[in-house]
Amino acid sequence: MRTTQLRLLALLAALALVAAACGGGDAGSDTTESEAPATTEAPATTEAPATTEAPATTEATEAPSGSASADGVLTLGTLLPETGDLAFLGPPEIAGARLAVEDINAAGGVLGQDVVLIEGDSGDTKTDIANQTVDRLLAEKADAIFGAASSAVSKTVIDKIVGANVIQFSPANTSPDFTTYNDNGLYFRTAPSDLLQGRVLAQQIADQGNASTAVIYRQESYGEGLANAFKDNYESAGGVIPEFLAYAPDTTNFDAEVDKIVAANPDAILVVGFEESATILETMHQRGVGPADKNVWGVDGNTGGIGGQVGDPTILTGMKGTEPSVDLTTIQPFLDRMDGAIDGGVGGVYAYGAETYDSITIVALAAVLAGSDDPLAIAAEINGITGGGEKCTDFASCVAVIEAGGDPDYDGLGGPYEFVEAGEPAAASYRIMTYDGEYDGGDGPGTVPNPELDVYVFAS
């Protein structure tokens, strides 16, 4: 088994990737309260230096004073997609949340008490499930709410959450809009801004030899942010975009858009969307511009679930996609635990599971350091937990650093994160996946880690 580790170089105009090392080898769903499994092994660290410049950040707004939810018990709520467009991301995120709370409580909990986990569904933008879930979690005195997976869904509830002086912490939001959002210093994310994914996509697609790329994207905060980030980087490096096609999230027929792509005859096609991408790809296949005929790329919003959403998964063979991701081949014990954390397992989709685990662990450590479950006190410690101190890789070892009077620098399953002042990672690793005809655990093309095909790159 092998995975190629690449370093993303700062020369974006040249779009060059340099292989760095070898080693062994977009969206989700929620549930209600449940207990979490056992202890987890710290992942092996992999070399993943970075040299592209980080996205612009802004200072977090000073948090308001006073919180009604502080009661001596750290109560955490989830706002994850059990239903909706990104339901395929629910299982790994729910599993990550349960495992984190299990490990924290096994290590003694926070403030002498077990951490309480309350699970809830986010739905999608076609429903009002997220607002109903947030109302319930706030009524149950959640100190932090983890989610949503969808950036667009998060935008429907962020003002309500931070306005209640409660932390919102997403493991999967990637819209660049959150970097500068007026969140009172209470919004955080372990997922990187799509300003980074746009650079990675531009470099990967150009490196494949594509001088022109048509883009079809979902017209909401996630789709627009990622499509524009790709466009800016690709064009600045000399690439041509003959079609840049937006569609409404409720679109069900893509004949007109695909006909424009056929007429443009690009070298490559980038599809930025959620589950509706299955219809787009089927239409592309019918028109002779699918993965069998063109270099087709997807993103984290569609690649994880698309294999089970198209009628004939074999039409995806050869398609590639990017996904913010820890090198999954380094955390196999954790992946095995994820499969046992929820009924039915995670279905071979591991996206954002590690990031969910880490987000909860970071909040718990910040509460330990603050000596309080007051969300405002916790928020003041979160950025510092992720960098600048003594390295530690799990809750127990980081608590030991705190108890010894030290400053912990949590590098967890998906770290290092090195949060900037805006409360988000300064750098991230990306998994570049390729669909083939078979994968472990299922029939047809899929995204279960494939050490013979997967490539990991690191960007900052």
Taking the C-alpha atoms of residue 370 and residue 199, their distance in angstroms, rounded to an integer, is 37
Label residue 424 by pLDDT band (50, 70, 90). Answer: very high
How many Cβ atoms sit within 10 Å of the Cβ of residue 160? 16
How many Cβ atoms sit within 10 Å of the Cβ of residue 92? 34
The answer to whether the CB of 142 falls within 8 A of the CB of 211 is no
The answer to whether the CB of 276 falls within 8 A of the CB of 250 is no
The answer to whether the CB of 225 falls within 8 A of the CB of 196 is no
User: Of 121, 124, 151, which is closest to residue 26 (Cα–Cα)?
Assistant: 151
Taking the C-alpha atoms of residue 338 and residue 413, their distance in angstroms, rounded to an integer, is 13
Label residue 286 by pLDDT band (50, 70, 90). Answer: very high
Label residue 445 by pLDDT band (50, 70, 90). Answer: low
Give the pLDDT confidence of 79-118 residue by residue, as tens digits: 999 999 999 999 999 999 999 999 999 999 999 999 999 9
Q: What's the confidence (pLDDT) of residue 36?
A: 37
Tokens of 146: 């983890």
How many Cβ atoms sit within 10 Å of the Cβ of residue 397? 15
Q: What's the confidence (pLDDT) of residue 460?
A: 81
Give the pLDDT confidence of 158-185 residue by residue, as tens digits: 999 999 999 999 999 999 999 999 999 9
Taking the C-alpha atoms of residue 166 and residue 138, their distance in angstroms, rounded to an integer, is 8
Q: Residue 351 pLDDT > 60, yes or no? A: yes
Give the pLDDT confidence of 134-156 residue by residue, as tens digits: 999 999 999 999 999 999 999 99
The DSSP code for 454 is -
Domain regions of the chain by residue span: 26-193+329-428, 195-325+430-459
The tally of CA atoms less than 13 A away on the side-chain side of residue 314 is 2
Highest mean pLDDT (candidates 1-5, 306-310, 377-381): 377-381
The answer to whether the CB of 107 falls within 8 A of the CB of 175 is no
Tokens of 182: 């007026």
Label residue 356 by pLDDT band (50, 70, 90). Answer: very high
Q: What's the confidence (pLDDT) of residue 68?
A: 54
Instruction: Average the pLDDT over each of 41-55, 168-182, 267-281, 444-458 and give the range with the smallest value.
Output: 41-55
Average pLDDT (195-216) is 97
Give the pLDDT confidence of 67-77 residue by residue, as tens digits: 556 899 999 99
Q: What's the confidence (pLDDT) of residue 41?
A: 38
What CATH number does the domain located at 195-325+430-459 have? 3.40.50.2300
Place of tokens 């594509």: 210
**Phi and psi (nearest 5°) for 122?**
-100, -20
Q: What's the confidence (pLDDT) of residue 16?
A: 32
Q: What's the confidence (pLDDT) of residue 67?
A: 58
The DSSP code for 118 is E
Tokens of 442: 């299922």
Average pLDDT, the chain: 85
Average pLDDT (2-23) is 32
386 vs 41, which has greater pLDDT? Answer: 386
Indicate if 195-325+430-459 has the same CATH topology as 26-193+329-428.
Answer: yes
Q: What's the confidence (pLDDT) of residue 406?
A: 95
Q: Residue 61 pLDDT > 50, yes or no? A: no
Look at the domain 26-193+329-428 and name its fold: Rossmann fold (3.40.50)
The DSSP code for 220 is S
User: Of 81, 188, 114, which is closest to residue 144 (Cα–Cα)?
Assistant: 188
Amino acid residing at 129: I
Taking the C-alpha atoms of residue 204 and residue 198, their distance in angstroms, rounded to an integer, is 10
